[in-house]
Amino acid sequence: MNILIIHQYFRTPEEGGAIRSYHIAEHLSRSGHNVKVITAYNSSRYYIERLGNFEVHYLPVYYTNHLSFWSRIHAFWLFTFYAMRLMKKLRPTDVNYIISTPLTTGLVGLYGKKRFGIPYIFEVGDLWPEAPIQLNVLKNIFLKRLARRLEYIVYRNARMIIGLSVDIKTAIESKVPDRKVEVITNMADIEMFGNVKRDEALTSELGLEGKFVIAYTGTVGLANHLEYLIAVARACIAHPEIVFLVMGAGAQLDRIKQQAEGLENITFIEPGNKEKVKRVLSVSDAIYISFRKVPVLASGCPNKLFDGLAVGRLIIINFQGWVKTLIEDHNCGFYYDPDRPEDFPEKLKAWLSDSKYLEECQKRSRTLAREQFSVEKQMEKLSRIFEQFSGQAV
């Protein structure tokens, strides 16, 4: 089959960040399909790169988390326009695989269906426009109505919808009950993270000997609200054995660093690729996952969860939803109320005082990663979906 993947934020392992679409492209191309990817990057020219068995078309659309609301909207529409124009040149195509966010990528799928009769699969990682609406980023009544209408039309016209969590699946089915929705979560990269050994050089460099290390690796943005982590760090001042590592980038990073001034139990590390993430996780005992206390965000599927499971770390979260149920059911982490940071040291006490119990929970994380969320397990689900298009196994 000829498969075109449209994802504005495509990344490779060498670049770092979320590499789900890379795994999808690699899997489908290794399965014998002709795969091409359309994405964007921060430059002034269009170029094509061959990555293994698939081809990536890079469109010159500037985007960072520091852009204003209207600048982001401009970037979304510019990518959509360029992708539509490029789609004409990349035919024949049997299936378009459209990855949201942003929601505007759905327009590329609609265009391909209406103009060329190409069916599309629509993947939903975050519920747009509900997320920016609940975050009070999207305020204009007309834009809200327009975005919700677009969401409905994109769902209605998709041959198949993939949600990254059961909560996302439920939300989509409530809007388009006659559409088929499958769940394919993010992936735990066992090959990369499964046998990580502690980086003694980094341990020494950061002065982590004898410390209980909690790591945050990921975006430092509005939705993550790392003010919660700062509050927890303040609550842990009386426990000098607890330290926090923050490795990330985003629009809120400078503000978070300012709030952390004077706190000796937080270290900020420059962001990097997956290898650097692995180094940081190797010296950690637990990972911290944070979302602002907004209901829609709890439905998401955070990449850092799966890195933490693959490495085998205690999972600490500050939000409700399916992730809370997952880690509590498998006893590999805990939830705390972000409005009560003073409770955090007591919550952590069981793992601080009992190293054997900590090791057991960490082993359960690795088992969960291997048995439910490995790249192979999730890509098996994707293969079954594509069987419906090709009529043969992929």
* Dist. CA 263–CA 273, nearest whole Å: 27
Share of the chain above pLDDT 90, in %: 88
Q: What is the mean pLDDT of residues 203-220?
A: 96
1 or 65: whose pLDDT is higher?
1
pLDDT at 146: 95
For all residues of the chain together, what is the average pLDDT? 94
* Dist. CA 127–CA 297, nearest whole Å: 8
The Cα-based distances of 306 to 191, 224, 301, 311, 325 in angstroms read: 13, 17, 9, 9, 15
- What residues have CB less than 8 Å from 181, skipping those under 6 apart? 160, 161, 162, 163, 169, 172, 173
pLDDT at 394: 39
Q: What is the mean pLDDT of residues 272-282?
A: 92
253: pLDDT strictly greater than 50: yes
pLDDT at 101: 87
311-364 per-position pLDDT tens digit: 999 999 999 999 999 999 999 999 999 999 999 999 999 999 999 999 999 999
Of the chain, the end-to-end C-alpha distance in Å amounts to: 10
pLDDT at 289: 98
Domains of the chain, each with CATH number or no CATH: 2-187+374-390 (3.40.50.2000), 190-372 (3.40.50.2000)
34: pLDDT strictly greater than 50: yes
257: pLDDT strictly greater than 60: yes
Helix pair angle (69-89, 105-116), 10° resolution: 30
391: pLDDT strictly greater than 70: no
213-242 per-position pLDDT tens digit: 999 999 999 999 999 999 999 999 999 999
123-168 per-position pLDDT tens digit: 999 999 999 999 998 999 999 999 999 999 999 999 999 999 999 9
Q: What is the mean pLDDT of residues 35-62?
A: 95
pLDDT at 302: 95
Nearest to 222 by CA among 69, 102, 8: 69
pLDDT at 18: 86
pLDDT at 65: 75
pLDDT at 390: 64
pLDDT at 196: 86
pLDDT at 376: 94
